[in-house]
């Protein structure tokens, strides 16, 4: 997996997506995360070469899909209720810290993209295999994101 993560094309794609979607990236890629990603590749019945070829052949579409997905699933601010007089200071609310997306996020997105474009009938099975909660709802949302990214 490190070969993909460290490749010039992958780094270019991550940079382009992060700039256009205005997200921060955590570039540390630990072995445990690489193992997790590899298990997802196995579940998708793909290998690293498949991911590299996918990125080479569908670069622009993958970038657009990733941006559309990030836009769709951007964390909305959670509206919390506080007892009267215990509301947080507005300045404190702005201090929420998010470490950024892991540099591997695009690999996961590319696996979804692969199923959406080349094997949509197996997407739900893949999502269930990798234990995505509410897989049917998520599949529907991914298909909507994919459709919008093609426009």
Dump pLDDT digits (tens) for 4-18.
999 999 999 999 999
DSSP H or E run through 49: helix 48-57
Residue 21 and residue 132: Cα distance in Å, rounded? 23
What pTM does this model have? 0.83
Q: What is the pLDDT of residue 151?
A: 81
Residue 149 and residue 141: Cα distance in Å, rounded? 12
Residue 146 and residue 151: Cα distance in Å, rounded? 9
3-state secondary structure 79-111: CCCCCCCCCCCHHHHCCCCCCCEECCHHHHHHH
Dump pLDDT digits (tens) for 27-74.
999 999 999 999 999 999 999 999 999 999 999 999 999 999 999 987
Arithmetic mean of pLDDT, 88-102:
56
pLDDT at 78 over 60: no
Percent pLDDT > 70 in the chain is: 83
Domain segments of the chain as ranges: 2-149
How many other C-beta atoms can be found within 10 angstroms of the C-beta atom of residue 52? 16
| DSSP 8-state class, residue 26 | E
Q: What is the pLDDT of residue 73?
A: 86
Residue 26 and residue 62: Cα distance in Å, rounded? 20
What 3-state class would DSSP assign to 30?
coil
Mean pLDDT over each residue of the chain, to the nearest integer: 88
Q: What is the pLDDT of residue 74?
A: 78
Residue 55 and residue 34: Cα distance in Å, rounded? 18
Cα atoms in the 13 Å half-sphere on the side-chain side of 47:
1
- Tokens 């007089």 locate to 85
pLDDT at 82 over 70: no
Q: What is the pLDDT of residue 100?
A: 83
Residue 122 and residue 129: Cα distance in Å, rounded? 11
Strands 101-102, 25-26: parallel, antiparallel or unpaired by DSSP? parallel
């Amino acid at each position: 997996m490190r070969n993909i993560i460290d490749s010039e094309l992958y780094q270019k794609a991550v940079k382009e997506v992060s700039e256009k979607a205005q997200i921060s990236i955590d570039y540390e890629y630990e072995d445990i995360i690489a193992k997790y990603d590899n298990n997802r590749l196995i579940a998708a019945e793909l290998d690293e070469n498949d991911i590299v070829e996918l990125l080479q052949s569908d670069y622009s579409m993958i970038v657009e899909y990733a941006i559309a997905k990030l836009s769709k699933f951007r964390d909305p601010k959670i509206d919390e209720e506080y007892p009267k007089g215990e509301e947080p200071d507005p300045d404190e609310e702005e201090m929420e810290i998010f470490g950024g997306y892991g540099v591997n996020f695009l690999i996961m997105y590319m696996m979804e993209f692969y199923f959406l474009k080349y094997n949509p009938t197996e997407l739900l099975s893949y999502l269930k295999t990798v234990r995505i909660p509410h897989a049917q709802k998520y599949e529907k949302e991914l298909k909507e994101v994919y459709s919008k990214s093609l426009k």
